[in-house]
Copies of this chain bind each other. A is one copy, B any other.
């Protein structure tokens, strides 16, 4: 994949085709007072890029394409599996206090709750803070009581695009998504295999900005 800045002459050719399509290369050459041979590389570039379309014995058409969406294609090609981090998991019986301590030790903004190895809930720093200021006894109440539970958990799968994960983070106004694997479709049992957060997306943004 290469990127080319159109020359002034190529821009002129596009304008000429837009105005008088279909138009033959002879007619374009005449308008520019150039030979067909001189125009050949320009027309090759414009048809290869998909900006112009050439039909034999008819002439050149303007396709309506301007720039192909390179950034979008690059971003859409990145999968959740490529960037996910390790999930931090506790069981439903863990006290709010111990869960908060785990969150600080692991330095994450959300933790996932499992029951018999399957995801049953998600708790965010915001949920913990709400309970902490509300006078809940953090040592007595288990995390299972306050967690967001299935089917209200928003999740992604490893094979999903990272773009779809970012869209879920924004649309649902959450900081973190569990990455799950479906074990039993009928029972809706999911194993947690990763974590995607706004930090994941920000790190990826930095990598795209610096390296690409």
- Interface positions of A (Cβ within 8 A of B): 1-7, 40-42, 44-45, 48-49, 51, 67-72, 74-76, 97, 100, 104, 107, 109, 125-126, 128-130, 132-133, 138, 163, 166-167, 169-170, 173, 175, 197-199, 201-206, 208-212
In the complex the two chains form, is A2's CB within 8 Å of B1's CB?
no
- Cα–Cα distance between A100 and B197 once the two chains are bound (Å): 23
Contact A202 to B166, CB < 8 A, known contacts A76-B209, A129-B132 = yes
Chain A binding surface, main DSSP class: helix
Which B residues are in CB contact (< 8 Å) with A199? 170, 198
Most buried by B among A71, A175, A202: A202
Contact A4 to B45, CB < 8 A, known contacts A209-B75, A211-B72 = yes
In the complex the two chains form, is A202's CB within 8 Å of B170's CB?
yes
In the complex the two chains form, is A202's CB within 8 Å of B201's CB?
yes
- Cα–Cα distance between A53 and B132 once the two chains are bound (Å): 65
Which B residues are in CB contact (< 8 Å) with A70? 3, 70-71, 212
